[in-house]
């Protein structure tokens, strides 16, 4: 029969392993962690979620746009930014929105850290939120949405539930509000969880794109008869992952 040489075989094996590992870590994978990605498809509710804040420029812009339409949302905040902007965190809560944990540091190496490091990041982030006046923290979103065996172990020891998303707005790096909005509205339906960003990022969409995109999204949701609510409102009384 036809056999592969040891070098070719090792290369193919390595590529297959890398592909499997990369797929397992993907935000859309249930391999290691089974995060919540959506609510009930038969619902007329959706959840807009904002990562990487609080930010002194973008977060108030988001809050203003949400207030104009009477919408509610969930903000996944980075713990190290919370102490710097505690009054902004309280404003988010006071205006009827929900706050989730997005780790303390959001270090890019965090998903590949040990389980105890990840648990420490989860708990430090949660404590920062509680210290800023958040009454209760229920949800955790992994940095970049990446799920690893270590994160699975950390979450087993935590009281928080992992939440990713069903629609990625791909707003980072895109300065065009209409394009961001169309990516969301082109797919949106009942039960969807949408990923947006209100935090500063060196590849960010710029402070002018986010509020314009959000207003387009909110108008489109209203036209479709969809109500933007907090994650807890979307997922209660039942929780779905599919």
- What positions carry a catalytic annotation? 51, 197
CB 180 within 8 A of CB 174: yes
CA distance 127 to 116: 16
Quickly list H helices, 95-176.
Answer: 115-131, 149-156
Burial tier of 170 (Cβ tally within 10 Å: 0-12, 13-18, 19+): middle
215 near 188, Cβ under 8 Å?
Answer: no
DSSP 109: T
State the pairing for strand pair 74-77/98-101.
parallel
Separation between Cα atoms, residue 238 and residue 36, nearest integer Å: 11
Q: How far is CA 23 from CA 28, 32, 142, 165, 241, in A?
A: 8, 11, 16, 16, 18
> Can you list the pairs that 183-189 forms with residues at least 24 positions away whose Cβ atoms lie under 8 Å?
184/217, 184/220, 185/216, 185/217, 185/220, 185/221, 185/224, 188/46, 188/220, 188/221, 188/224, 188/226, 189/41, 189/46, 189/226
């Amino acid at each position: 029969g036809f056999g592969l040489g040891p070098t070719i075989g090792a290369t193919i094996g390595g590529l297959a392993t890398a592909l499997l590992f990369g797929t397992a870590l993907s935000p859309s994978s249930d391999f290691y962690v089974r995060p919540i990605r959506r609510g009930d498809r038969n619902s007329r509710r959706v959840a807009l979620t904002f990562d990487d804040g609080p930010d002194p420029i973008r977060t108030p812009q988001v809050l203003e746009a949400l207030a104009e339409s009477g919408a509610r949302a969930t903000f996944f905040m980075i713990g190290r930014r919370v102490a710097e902007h505690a009054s902004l965190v309280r404003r988010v809560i006071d205006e009827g929105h929900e706050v989730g944990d997005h780790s303390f540091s959001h270090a890019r190496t965090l998903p590949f850290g040990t389980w105890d490091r990840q648990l420490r990041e989860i708990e430090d982030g949660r404590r920062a939120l509680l210290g800023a006046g958040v009454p209760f923290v229920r949800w955790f979103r992994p940095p970049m949405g990446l799920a690893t065996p270590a994160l699975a172990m950390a979450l087993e020891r935590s009281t928080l539930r992992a939440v990713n998303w069903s629609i990625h707005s791909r707003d980072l790096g895109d300065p065009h509000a209409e394009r961001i909005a169309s990516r969301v509205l082109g797919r949106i339906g009942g039960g969807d969880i949408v990923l947006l960003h209100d935090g500063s990022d060196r590849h960010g969409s710029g402070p002018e794109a986010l509020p314009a995109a959000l207003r387009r999204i909110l108008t489109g949701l209203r036209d479709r008869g969809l109500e933007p609510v907090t994650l807890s409102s979307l997922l209660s009384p039942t929780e779905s992952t599919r």
